[in-house]
A and B are shown apart, each in its own frame.
Chain A
């Protein structure tokens, strides 16, 4: 294996290097070029135009408030939930597992749309309801920075949870216990001991959410733009989306600052997590964290957790499904029930553009994830098992794209694809998707490879298993869960992809999320909801399918 892998590494570095660096290089070149047609002609014109725009300062301020606010909301909630799950005797702990799976369930754009349907000032369902009660003044306006922050915070909660929860459960209980022995109460221990010790994890979660919300496009476009609140991502979008006057040079110039900010933050994040990221395999010692008895607060807190999960998963789906059935937005009631029909569904299923978008997204989801996981498999193998200087380079390269905002990558790729025959084909999207989401496939696969301690293979060899037998009975079965979860993550990400597609998708290569955004811009909520439910259905079907196959594969042994 050692010999083949020496040839493998440079090849992979070339592929991954192209995927991650091409959009960056093209973005830089593009930003100095001016026009798509004038690639390579040096000019500073676009930078001057972009950064002297009087509106730019306001956009920056909104961006900072939006990202910081979302980070605080998401991390705060994540800490609360992680603490309850790992350290207390709260009932129904399975719910916490579900919370970490949410990113796979409800696409961000649909989540944002469902809150618009509930809380928009003119006909949001909750607002209509308040109006019926005569509470005119109580009407809430989702089209505000607060609205954006709350929705984005909820959306990024799972990712913050995934960072905070392991730190919370790996936490050395002895530190807390010694504080309690010294006479401190539970609350005091929490504030004086638990939180400070968890500081690296908390900072890491904050940083990660800032990066994510900086890259977020769904919430700023669906909630921010109608309220004329622009952040960097939507600012870039508006520069290229204004039909006849699309200015990719200026978009690239603005994109440079978003990219620089993201890279800086992700470097910070890597530094924060380096400590805690020691690879862990099965340990021989049992681990028993001490559990705090919540006593009377047990069920009220449980209710809060259930409410959060309801708001995160069930509510959006309910709202969308309801909206897809009623002719126009109305509060639920007898009148609404009488008016229900499948009309929007029929329209969508006859709409050629929606059907094309469905087909394209399905193709990208299945084909793209499969290609992506094959690439991830080899990259993960080299990163974990070969361990040379070159594999270190490969690792840095492949996790780099994690920090890039999709819309910026899109602009960069746009500069590349217009010079090639790939422009406006589905291949452009496929390449862009794999480049942007490679870390999603890589993460589960590297941890699967790491879990296969060298001794597990060697022991099989000593026990009389030849190389192929060892591969079949030890290596593959241990990898199947990693392959499955990597594939599922990539496929669901591809089916819902928005921020990259919004730049790269052209007539003929429409995809689901872009079509949904168009419906939102036109206020066609009924059709949007029908298509959205279809989108959720496809994602769920892919998850179930992949899990089924993986289950069968690992059972076969």
Chain B
């Protein structure tokens, strides 16, 4: 089901100061996709999610889930969370400690007074789905973190909601379990074909899991797109920087050609992917991700975007070398194959592929 958020703002008063948790958020969350809200801590992700489920009521705007308007400040509509028919996994999992696994999962069905046999059937199916069959009688307090997370997921799924929301569901797990669970979650959600809204501040999680990402900052949505678009073609330095690491080289547009846009920078002219709307003379920043800096083997010069620099530092990180190269006065971070023969202090030639040099207009 599609979720439409129109002009939603939410303010808090805290010790006399007004906190703008959400400012004029406009958003359409497509149906049957995994949609991620990504942003640094305190940017308002949780607040937006809570407004959608109805645990918080915004100060302005309108929220519609499918065809139903569940909130409208203007028309005075507020559908309470228990009538919105959504599923949610909380950051703390919110497993009820006085119930066993079965009762935890059965709760949404019991709240709707479904017949007993039906409840048993659906709970069994949900538990099988999250691979917790046989855990029915286990007290909720005797579960590991990962198991609690899966009980929370089963509980959110059991009533077959059209939309399921997650607030950083993996942040309480350790790194390895987090990675496994992330893959599993992706599989579950793809299988289920439901709308999932997922909140995280972890870029890798967002890139790996989502069909679409909205990046938030200071209560505003700053950019939206597929993971690839966000990663490769971001329009903003904040987004490009927040999503992975990047080199930012300031300069001015020298020429705007058919195939490439040339930017004059401190290290010389750089040929970049064509940027519509860039006119000569404008200030611009070139963004190059460290993995797109290639080291040329000795003797092979030639081609576009070739520069010479000295390797300042080099760290072996297993599958690659990461380090810094000084080109003129500019330090660039780079990442190359661990088989490359490069040494610290060495002077090398490097090349950027113009397709991976994107321009951010200031």
- A residues sitting closer than 8 Å to B (CB atoms) are 282, 284-286, 451, 453, 455-456, 458-466, 469, 473-474, 477-478, 554, 557
Contact = CB atoms under 8 A, between A and B. Distances in A.
B145 interface: yes
Contact of A460 (B54, B92, B107, B112): B107
A451 B92 CA distance: 13
B111 A465 contact: yes
A463 B111 contact: yes
A456 B54 CA distance: 15
B86 A462 contact: yes
A455 to B, nearest CB: 4
- In the A-B complex, the 10 residue pairs with the smallest Cβ-Cβ separation, listed nearest first, are A284-B145, A459-B94, A455-B94, A463-B108, A464-B111, A461-B81, A465-B111, A455-B90, A462-B88, A464-B82
A465 B82 contact: yes
Interface of B: 53-55, 80-88, 90-94, 96-99, 103, 107-108, 111-112, 141, 144-145, 148, 155, 159, 172
Contacts of A461: 54-55, 80-82
A285 B90 CA distance: 17
B144 A462 contact: no
A372 to B, nearest CB: 25
A458 B81 contact: yes
Given A284-B148, A458-B81, A465-B107, A554 B90 contact: no
A469 B82 CA distance: 10
A311 B116 CA distance: 54
A282 B140 CA distance: 10
A463 B96 CA distance: 12
A243 B87 CA distance: 72
Contact of B98 (A462, A463, A554): A554
Q: Secondary structure of the B side of the interface?
A: loop
A428 B84 CA distance: 53
A463 B86 CA distance: 7
Contacts, number: 77
Contacts of B159: 463-464
Given A453-B94, A464-B82, 6 more contacts: A282-B97, A451-B97, A458-B90, A461-B55, A462-B55, A464-B85
B55 A469 contact: no
A463 B98 CA distance: 17
A115 to B, nearest CB: 42
A463 B107 contact: yes
A411 B273 CA distance: 87
A470 to B, nearest CB: 8
Given A461-B81, A462-B55, A464-B159, A284 B144 contact: yes
A474 B82 CA distance: 14
A463 B159 CA distance: 8
B218 to A, nearest CB: 25
Contacts of B141: 282
Contact of B96 (A466, A474, A554): A474
A473 B97 CA distance: 12
B108 A464 contact: yes
A462 B82 contact: yes
Nearest to B81: A461
Contacts of B82: 461-466, 469
Contacts of A462: 53-55, 81-82, 84, 86-88
A389 to B, nearest CB: 10
A477 B94 contact: no
Contacts of B92: 453, 455
Contact of B144 (A286, A456, A554): A286
A35 B196 CA distance: 76
Most buried by B among A286, A464, A466: A464
Contacts of B55: 458, 461-462
A466 B93 CA distance: 20
Contacts of A286: 144
Contacts of A554: 98
Contacts of A557: 98-99, 103
Nearest to B97: A282
B82 to A, nearest CB: 5
Contacts of B85: 464
Nearest to B50: A458
A477 B96 CA distance: 10
A459 B93 CA distance: 9
A465 B82 CA distance: 6
A72 B81 CA distance: 55
B173 to A, nearest CB: 8
Contacts of B112: 464
Given A285-B145, A463-B159, A469 B111 contact: yes
Contact of A463 (B54, B97, B144, B155): B155
